[in-house]
Structure 1
Amino acid sequence: KSHISFVMVCYEEQANLILFLQPQQYSYPSIFIYGHRASGKSHVMQVLFKELELPHATVSCVECVSVASLFEHVLLSFFGYEAASLLPRSPSLSDFVRIYRQQCSRSPAKQTRYIVMEKSELLRDADANLLPALLRLQELVEDNITVILLSEISWDKFRPNTGCFEPLLLHFPDYSKVELQQILSLDRNPSYSAEFYSSYINILLGVFYSVCRDLRELRHLAALNFSKFCEPLAEGKVKETDTHKLWRNIEPHLKKAMQTVYLREVSSHQWEQMQQMEKEADNCLFFPLPKGLSAHTHVELPYYSKFLLIAAYLASYNPARTDKRFFLKHHGKIRKTHFQKKNEKASNHLLGPKPFPLDRLLAIFYSVVDSRVAPTASIFSQISSLVTLQLLTQVSHDDQLDAPKYKCAVPLDFICAISRTVNFDIVKYLYDFLQ
């Protein structure tokens, strides 16, 4: 236990509690572990299972696209390929329980077996009987097995309306500033002393801690900006102990980088280039692009942000009444003459982008994206990011929180370039280009 506590910095309390839950006979049927993103849930479980060599099956609810793949993965992890091959093509819960019991009678558990369900909040969208069955799987299969659910939401929001077995609850709280300092300092560059890197992390947290507590994002920011912090040192202008001079050099750089928190597509160097290009674009006399747009041609957007921008362009330049024809299956052939009216003879591209509500943007986005996407906070934050990058313009007032409206602020050649990177033929979905 002392070795495990050493490996897991800042997780000792949670690790010791999980170790305490391992009795000599049967363990608790199900444990619900919850906490915000990057709060150490998966890391603690991985270290415990590796150090104690416990039999376990780790299942990602994002990667398991069906119940069949879930059952197959569990049987494969505990009993091998032959057991997994006994499942029928479309197995039911009773098929899984039957095969598990057969295999368990041949290979009884010498110690508790564990099934870890990562991103388990997605189980709420699965079959209604799956989650209640997992919570009392120990009783169903008559084996010493514990199901551990890892989630970013609390049990009150997770619990099914129909009722189920109540699991043991374990909360992973957010890291304090001291804990973040301790964890991030472990990533120090071997070319520099531990004190020097710790002082850098202290400066970084002083700037970003008020707006970002995500360990993954802070780790990304630390790696991204460290070379800039070391520039005066590499040039021989200062020493490692001149913290004040190092701070004055990096402070404006970090404050600019604050505008790109959670925007993985924009590095700090790219952000400085964007600022410079915006100044040059303001001085352009002939057909100036929207502010900052020329700079964005050098920025690589995340995958879903590209589809959000494509959806925004379609919403800006297509009449709203054509959405069903473009984005619903079995719509039949669309003819432009059926939609034209006297006031629509002019091209929508010549008239400019029209505002559209948020719900229309999301409806088009979910239609054009080539995979199933849950309406998470990440999608909404990427919309805000596109507004920050001035690729979208919010035209409604700030106090209209219930119905925000936007306009797409990019030209046709820009959106065509974005569409080519995701193999999406946007011209086929533009009303102005119908034959």
Structure 2
Amino acid sequence: MKSFRLSYIHIVLIHCILALVIFAVPFFSKVLALLIPIIGFYFVQKTKNKNNEVILVAAYLVGIEVFLRMTGGNLNNEYVKISVVFFMLLGMIYSNFSLKAFFYWFFLILLIPGVIVASTVTDYNVDVKKALFFNLSGPVCLAICAIYMFKRRVMFSDLQNIVLAIGLPILTTTVYLFLYNPSVKDVVTGTQSNFETSGGFGPNQVSTILGLGVFVFFTQLILFSKTKKEMILNGVLLLLVSYRGIVTFSRGGVITGIVMIICLLFFLYSFSNAKGKGKFILIFILTGLMGVGIWTYTSIQTSGLINKRYANQDARGREKKSQLSGREEIIESEITYFLDNPITGIGVGIGKEMREKSFGTAVASHNEITRMLAEHGLFGILGLLILFITPFVLYIHNRQHLYFLSFFLFWLLTINHAAMRTAAPAFVYALTLLSVHIKIPEKAEN
């Protein structure tokens, strides 16, 4: 009996239909949220994780997290992070992990003093359990993913399957956004982040995941389009995801996606021979034309308001006082907290309570770096040093990881504007630690 295998086009079509089904019957989103881990667990158990199937399952969960939140499918805000941690631990049971990953065990230990400090604070009415889950689920998810993926050997084609596993649910999200808000013109009236064009969910998080989707389908277009049909399909998908990302009016995710693409093109160009570099001129031109085309179309659809948004202007064209949508005050407050408490920090989750007392509003941090400084003090600095230095040390002997810098910058830029609200930055960071190898075919196979 021949094994049944879906084509790429069929898989894309299924994910488009999935958006239509959940738009028509929203309850199915909860069913989907339960089915993915169950099917994933069966899949991993059946294969005994021989080919790192846990990474594929976790990647799919990362890609679909925002969609589940948007459609009410998530059991709670940390559901996907907990699920990703579960599959990484399951992978360790089946496939062990590198003892050299002790840096990330140490990173977890460095988080403990901040927990102890928070538990002893009596000046603020803090739900310690809730504060710990909200602020530490991201760093813990990152550490566990990093421990599993540390120097784990994968082929570049396998890495692309992981990337695509993230991208397919993002396609579902994109189709859902078109269904939820078919006419952008009717809902865009200003230059602020737009909840209508973001499916009624947080534009910052939607923009973040769509920016990652832009990178996914760009890689599919230029590296893995095997036929002209696939090339056209991936080009269309890239344009659709880009358009919906831009019209969220949240800049962070879109800019991050562009930076990732620029890094990838730089890596590919530098690794190419003279003949390959000649072909890259065409790729640069086509990429530029697609960028200009999608931006022009978006500008027309938003009556020029998107131009003003990226120029940091309001609807009347006046310069806005804040460059970062008011996040400067939060960053300044966290730097002040760190300077006042440089050793132990103020404790996990206390920053939000302190801002409520100072500003009159309990505002959560959008910047994971300044939050680590404020709430963990010196231990936070040591933790950040581990996160910044380790991937580059590994990359010295891992030069075939073409996505390394793109992944690292996705993590870095995302935690600066969206903290670690979703599992995406934690998981993508861990992908930088994989030992990637590009299979060179034999001459007879050329």
TM interval, shorter chain, is under 0.3
Q: Which has the higher helix share?
A: 2
The structure with higher relative contact order (CA 8 Å, sep 6+) is: 2
TM-score, with normalisation over the residues of structure 2? Answer: 0.22
Q: Which has the higher strand share?
A: 1
Larger radius of gyration: 1
